[in-house]
Amino acid sequence: MLQSSDADGEESPDFKWGEMKGLGQKDKNVKFYESFTFDGIEYRLFDCAYFCVRGQCETSIGKLVKMFETSTGEKKVKVIWFFRPIDIRSFLGKYEPLWDELFLACGDDLGVSNINDVEAILGKCNVVCQSRHPKNRYPSKDERRMANYLFTCTFDTRLKIISKDFADAIAGIGVEKLFNKKREEQPLKRLNSTAAGSSRPSPVKPFHPDSGSTKLGKKINRDRTSPTRLTLTFILQDLFLKDSASREHLKKNPPVNTDVTSGCPRTKSRASGDLLAPGSSVNPTPSKKRKLRLSMTEPADSYGLVHQPEEKRFIKNPPLVVKAPSQNIPFEDELKEAIEKDRLLLFENLEPSYTSLDVEDLCWQAFNERVDARMIPASLLSSPHNGKALVIFGTTRAADKALSRLTEGYLMLSDERPLVASRNAPKEVGECKRFTGHFTLVDKAQMSIQKASYCNSHVKRLSLPQRSQKSYITCDLTQSLFF
């Protein structure tokens, strides 16, 4: 089945289709697949993934329920979305979500599912279902521990209620498929998403929010815990709940796809205050959950966000999106955090002419990891033959893995020099107490005058006979120390 991908292999080398599932019923040119590999990560049907839209700081999480290639060669995935508690904060009521809880979208409304470009996928996300539903295989403790998120409830986008009942089908997909995978499928999934000891490098890690790995991940964590509580108090004041409900919902569904009349659903709903349900499951209606900023105190802000959907192109190279925030914050801060989390490695024996970007490239080639690297600037004190770089990995585990890989084998660089890595972290930035070569005499007050006069006139000192004998001598003394 690989030949189908060969056709446009040149345009996205990171992408490869897996096994073909069949052809479209209506349109024979549409090919459905079971899995695909994108950016080194294999995605299978019913895996969950992080999605990103330009202009939004929060990622969205969705389940991949269909993967297909259109007649024009566009690679699409159909996604059923999960809501974060903050997305539906106005409707939580008394429900107190767990810190890593998600809600599966259901109902026949817009925003349950839609079709996205494959490029929008950022990385894999491990979501388990903890529902006691008879069709669901209850997750083991291990699975629960490994999971990034869990879900037990659905959120009906039309009725705006949270429910523990699962409909038989959501967006045309049988509900049993949305639950945890059956045992026999498990290893496959594990291999890609969580396994640590497997030989396959797993570049998903940088996107794991749990480990607080990337800035992005951290943000998710922070956002998730506190604001929910905030909302619960706010909900009482939310008098126009019904009205804002649909509006918030709209905001979650700005059209993102290119192939759709963008902005259409938004304007419609703004006007009518209620959404129609145009069979969203089949229509390639683009919608995207979006993070509602803490705009709850000023609903006017929500209108300000509306222009964003017009940026409908996804970023071609998603991992860069994750890296982007780190470029905004000073490297020193990032470094500090990386040291705390043990995500930092020191690379030595690099060709001194390597640039920071080269090192990042190198890590991608060798470890399949996106890293943030910085060459340590050379100085006259440092060795001219040994380039060093600080490399910040996405997660502690990624750093561990790279380090152990480098201990087992050797990474030979272009000019036959093996890379040397270590866990040497820069020392805590402390204050320098004193600088040798400078000392003070007993009498500080007097010294300061002398020092000043000395420094001002260390060249023409001798031409000033009127200076007192004492300071004259001291000058001589001081001078003798430094020349």
Partner 1 sequence: MANQGEEEYAKFLEKVRRTVYVDELTPHASEAVVKSAFDQFGTVTDLRFLPNYFGPKELPVSVLVEMENEDMAKAVIGTLTQFPFMVAGMPRPVRAAAATPEMFHDRPKKPGSKIQCRWIDPSDPEFDKAKKMKRLVQKHSAETSFMLKKQLEEAEKLDKQQSETATTHYKKFELIDKLYHDGAAKNLASHYNMKSFSFH
Q: Residue numbers of the site for partner 1 (CB under 8 A)?
A: 332, 348-349, 352-358, 361-362, 365-366, 374-381, 383, 386-387, 390, 408-414, 417-420, 422, 424, 426-427, 429-439, 441-442, 451-452, 454-455, 458, 469-470, 473-474, 477-478, 481-483
CB of 351 to partner 1, least distance (A): 9
Q: Give least dist CB 378 to partner 1, A.
A: 4
For partner 1, the closer CB: 184 or 408: 408
Taking the complex as a whole, how short is the minimal distance between the CB of residue 209 and partner 1, in angstroms? Answer: 29
**Chain-centroid distance, C-alpha 387:** 29
Closer by beta carbon to partner 1, 273 or else 426 = 426
**Shortest reach from residue 37's CB to partner 1, in Å:** 21
Residue 83 vs 454, nearer CB to partner 1: 454
Nearest approach, Cβ of residue 348 and partner 1 (Å): 6
> In the structure encoding, which two tokens stand for residue 457, read together?
């006139």
Assign residue 167 a region: left if phi > 0, alpha if psi is -120 to 50, beta otherwise? beta
Distance of CA 168 to the CA centre of its chain: 33
The CB-of-421 to partner 1 minimum distance in angstroms stands at 10
Q: Which is nearer to partner 1, 102 or 362 (CB)?
A: 362
Long-range Cβ contacts of 301-309 (<8 Å, 24+ apart): 302/247, 302/248, 302/251, 305/251, 306/251, 306/254, 306/266, 308/55, 308/56, 308/254, 309/254, 309/255, 309/256, 309/262, 309/263, 309/266
**DSSP H or E stretch at residue 37:** strand 35-38
Judged by beta carbon, residue 315 or residue 413, the one nearer partner 1 is: 413
CB 422 to partner 1: min, Å: 8
What are the backbone angles phi and psi of residue 371, rounded to the nearest 5°?
Answer: -130, 170
Cβ of residue 413: shortest distance to partner 1, in angstroms? Answer: 5
Q: Given the complex with partner 1, which of 116 and 326 has the nearer CB atom?
A: 326
Give burial (CB, 10 Å; 0-12/13-18/19+) of 469: exposed
Compute the least distance from the CB of residue 303 to partner 1, in Å: 40
Q: Which is nearer to partner 1, 26 or 434 (CB)?
A: 434
Q: How large is the angle between the packed helices 469-482 and 444-456, nearest 10 degrees? A: 70
In terms of CB distance, is 86 or 475 closer to partner 1? 475
Tokens representing residue 146 in the block = 């490994």
b/e for 429-448, b at 16 or more Cβ within 10 A? eeeeeeeeeeeeeeeeeebe
Q: Which of 228, 116, 111 is nearest to 170 (CA)?
A: 111
Q: Which is nearer to partner 1, 51 or 454 (CB)?
A: 454
- Number of residues that make up the chain: 483
DSSP-derived secondary structure for 301-335: HHHHGGGGGG--PPPSSHHHHHHHHHHHS-HHHHH
Sign of the alpha-carbon torsion through 218, 125, 2, 26: negative
